[in-house]
Amino acid sequence: MKRTVIATLLIGLIIGCQKVPLSGRSQLRLVPSSQLLPLSFSNYKEVLDTSRVVRSGEQAEMVRRVGARIQRAVESYMNANNFASRLNGFQWEFNLIQSPQVNAWCMPGGKVAFYTGIMPICQNEAGIATVMGHEVSHAIAEHGNERMSEGLLANGLIQGGQLVLGTLSQSQRSQTNALLLQAVGAAAPVGYQVLRALPHSRSQESEADKLGLIFMSIAGYDPKEAVGFWTRMSQASGGKKPAEFLSTHPSDQRRIRDIQSQIPDAMKYFNKKY
């Protein structure tokens, strides 16, 4: 019996190991979109219902305006590169939340949240586009599914290589919701291990940076503006970030250096018409 369960689990893991079409990197995705997206939308609604959403004003309007432009850029790029199916089930939404947190995130399915704490660092639409492109790229590359799959597996919520939400207990559902919020950066990560999760997360961040530059370029925002945003973000941190080895993100210096090297390629998409 035990051997059968293990064999089934291994088969599920093999099936769940796929490649990110946009980079070719192998990733683990065990949660089908038919289950993940409804869970994502429900969690997003709960966040909005329990937060102070900024409905009007210049900043809220900028977030929605930039979001709409990035959405069109993503859809154009994905259609032109035969990745349109990855957008199936997306229900785009862009909201600004009143909070001092210097953060933004995108749920699977295109649900984006910006916090007012990051707006002074964004400064303008190009800064917002830098963040928006990066966060949306996480959803396009299904990083949330990847992180959540690893978390579910580690916490014993994947059985036989499959997650069936209807069979979970209330406590397991709460744990699943927490893992999703953690996976997209809407909650602080807990229990990450240096030798596995942290380096893996850094690779996802770098993927999102590269793809985000392309999306903001297609949307008509100069990708060189990304350097200014990340420089301001570095200055705002006051040098208090942990060493890169112990961080889920690349160091500020590495990120800026990598982005500078990627700008020439991104410029090829600047205002490109599909």
Nearest alpha carbon to residue 110 among 93, 95, 96: 93
Nearest alpha carbon to residue 111 among 154, 169, 63: 63
The tokens 């909070």 sit on which residue?
99
What is the per-residue DSSP string for 229-272?
Answer: HHHHHHHHHTT-SPPGGG-SS--HHHHHHHHHHHHHHHHTTTT-
How many CB atoms are closer than 10 A to CB 249?
Answer: 18
Which residues fall within 8 angstroms of residue 127, CB to CB, at 6 or more apart? Answer: 121, 225, 228, 229, 232
Which residues fall within 8 angstroms of residue 184, CB to CB, at 6 or more apart? Answer: 105, 106, 107, 108, 138, 139, 144, 147
User: Which tokens hold the place of 145?
Assistant: 């599914």
Pairing of strands 111-115, 93-97: parallel
Q: What is the DSSP letter of 54?
A: E
Q: Residue 170: enclosing H or E segment and its boundaries? A: helix 170-183
Q: Which residues are the active-site residues?
A: 135
Phi, psi of 135 (to 5 degrees): -70, -40
Nearest alpha carbon to residue 144 among 77, 86, 201: 201
Chain-centre distance for alpha carbon 213 = 14
